[in-house]
Amino acid sequence: MIVIVTSFLVLFNIAHANILAQQFPAESNDDINLVPLIVGGVEAPEGYAKHMVALVVGAYIKMLICGGSIVTRRHILSAAHCIEPYVIWGELTPYLYGVIGSNSWKSTERVVRFSGQVTHPDFSWLTIKNDIGVLITTEDIHYTDRIQPIPLSWNWTPGGRTAFATGWGLTTTGISDPPKRLQLLYVKTISPLTCILGVRNASSGWESNPPIVDPFQELCTFHSKGHGMCNGDSGSALVLPQSKVQVGIVSWGFPCALGAPDVFVRVSAFKNFLIPIIGSHLNEL
């Protein structure tokens, strides 16, 4: 997620671009009695996020950069700011790959390679708008009891909805390694006005101004101080547990879990961008 004016993929450093249980049994973080570790979340149970993809770069020295979600057998949805640093002369670096079917981002059991990518043509690093992109896999993803696509919601998501995000982002601010195991945090969506005011309040005292929240293409969540997205969570899905659909993509925010809203791409705003790319594969089981 871009952290105040950059991203949770980067903490003031763009160059370091860095649940699905079948019935979604949990309704809050307290319902999952595991070691607290996203910031303030818990370790996700195995198989809780069957859509989850760890985006990793490197051949010998491997680095987690972002999350993503399986949306078809050939497509991974993520944030544009997770993808663009790895497009060189129009080509996606072969050193970027995805890890699927595991709660460990270092797993080598199921790895997907990419043949191409499409980021939104109007994506802006300055405003962090249209922060959405799709990675195209070289081969079909084989679905299993641990690997499944997440349906996308084309409906408007209002404030007050329970949602969750998973990711391998840092669990503390500052310099640290990403967690070895997938983290889970339940949050509440908030209204556009609450988000705009929250961002405005959080930005007071900062030397640089944060991006302007655009409710038409962005969705915000908030839990409490000490709970939220952090570096490395960018690109991960925001999911509504009751309807089991993805409504958001981790995009940007303030340094981790300081009591400000987290800002997500609003998936429903980008139907016209996504359907031409993934539409022919959406009905494949």
pLDDT value at residue 14 = 31
pLDDT value at residue 173 = 56
What superfamily does domain 162-269 belong to in CATH? Trypsin-like serine proteases (2.40.10.10)
Q: Which two tokens stand for residue 111?
A: 């790895």
End-to-end CA distance of the chain: 30
Cβ contact 110:281 at 8 Å: no
Residues sharing a CB contact under 8 Å with residue 52, sequence separation 6 or more, in sequence order: 67, 68, 69, 70, 100, 166, 182, 236, 237
pLDDT value at residue 208 = 72
Whole-model pTM: value is 0.85
Sketch the domain layout of the chain as residue ranges.
Answer: 2-21+49-149+271-281, 162-269
pLDDT value at residue 168 = 86
Residues sharing a CB contact under 8 Å with residue 65, sequence separation 6 or more, in sequence order: 9, 17, 18, 55, 56, 57, 82, 86, 96, 232, 234
2-21+49-149+271-281 CATH fold: Thrombin, subunit H (2.40.10)
Cβ contact 234:81 at 8 Å: yes
Question: How many degrees, rounded to 5, is the angle at CA 236 between CA 149 and CA 252?
Answer: 150
Q: Note the pLDDT tens digit of each residue in 22-81.
A: 333 344 444 433 223 355 557 788 889 999 999 999 988 889 999 999 999 999 999 999
Question: 70 by DSSP, 3-state: which?
Answer: strand
Cβ contact 110:140 at 8 Å: no
Say yes or no: do domains 2-21+49-149+271-281 and 162-269 share a fold.
yes
Q: Determine phi and psi for 190, rounding to 5 degrees.
A: -125, 160
pLDDT value at residue 265 = 98
Dist. CA 258–CA 209, nearest whole Å = 17
The residue ranges of the chain whose pLDDT is under 50 are 4-6, 8-37
Residues sharing a CB contact under 8 Å with residue 203, sequence separation 6 or more, in sequence order: 4, 209, 210, 254
pLDDT value at residue 257 = 57
- The torsion of the CA quartet 187, 188, 193, 196, rounded to 10 degrees, works out to 0
